[in-house]
Amino acid sequence: MVKLTTGNKKLQFKKVFYYFLLAKISLLSLLAIGYFTPVVNCNVTQAKCEFPVCIINDGMHVNIVLPVRNNLVDWQEFINVSAIGKDATANYKYLTFGWGDRDFYIQTPTLAEFNLITAAKALFLPTPSTILVQGFADIPRNPELKCAKVTKTDYLQLTQFIQNTFQFNSQNQPIRIANGFLSSSGFYAANGSYSILKTCNNWAAEALQQAGIDTPLWAGLSSAVMLHFGTSCKCNTT
């Protein structure tokens, strides 16, 4: 049996460290490329772009902002809007939608409540998901708000995607499971499982793709979705 000398041990350690550093740099490079590379999701059309779709960044999640009703979709027909939050008398004009791991989302309203164990379970174990819905009397006023106009077809595809995310009870109604962070919000049971490959912001990007809105190649961070949000569609805006 050959014994390793101190010099050989140092050489092996340097090789291991070198390969670890190379793998780390490669991974970070790939993530950076994915972060800054846009994915153009335009559906070539001459239809009129008249339906606004907005997103808002709360620092961790991208939430999709839609009106409670327009001449295409009335969310009151899908979900009991007055029962979203604690105030049953509230008159909401806009709703925001965000998806994520159930335990992590409910227990982590801000980064201050971040729990490493809960986050690790969300990333590496198949755990239940949730969709957070919040009502607003007016469109949210926030510097991290962006809007774009899409066609009728794209708008309907987006809303259908969001509605398909909900789980339903025996009465075919969305299942509310917990109060939200604010009195105007609530958590609902959702389809899909959160993972390192499908995060809250990946869900938002996938939803936006249904509406022909540009998204990043890698949508793991909310800032990446915000960076590329917009539409390259050359549709009629008049």
Same domain, 140 and 58: yes
pLDDT-based confidence at residue 75 (cuts at 50, 70, 90): very high
The per-residue pLDDT for range 44-53, each reduced to its tens digit, is 666 788 899 9
Same domain, 88 and 134: yes
The pTM of the full predicted model, rounded to 2 decimals, is: 0.85
Asked if the structure places residue 236 within a domain, the reply is: no
Same domain, 71 and 49: yes
Q: Over the chain, what is the mean pLDDT?
A: 83
d(CA 119, CA 204): 19
Domain interval for residue 26: 1-36
pLDDT-based confidence at residue 17 (cuts at 50, 70, 90): very low
38 or 54, greater pLDDT: 54
* pLDDT score, position 41: 76
Q: Per the structure, how many domains does the chain have?
A: 2
Q: Looking at beta carbons, which pairs linking 67-76 to residues 24 or more positions away fall under 8 Å?
A: 67/93, 67/94, 67/95, 68/92, 68/93, 68/94, 68/95, 68/135, 72/152, 72/155, 72/156, 72/159, 73/155, 73/156, 73/159
Asked if the structure places residue 197 within a domain, the reply is: yes
* pLDDT score, position 18: 47
Same domain, 208 and 143: yes
pLDDT-based confidence at residue 59 (cuts at 50, 70, 90): confident
The per-residue pLDDT for range 85-118, each reduced to its tens digit, is 988 778 999 999 999 999 888 887 665 565 665 6
Q: Is the pLDDT assigned to residue 140 strictly greater than 70?
A: yes
Same domain, 17 and 89: no
- Both tokens of 18, joined, read 């070198």
Same domain, 16 and 117: no
Asked if the structure places residue 98 within a domain, the reply is: yes
Same domain, 64 and 104: yes
Q: Is the pLDDT assigned to residue 237 strictly greater than 80?
A: no
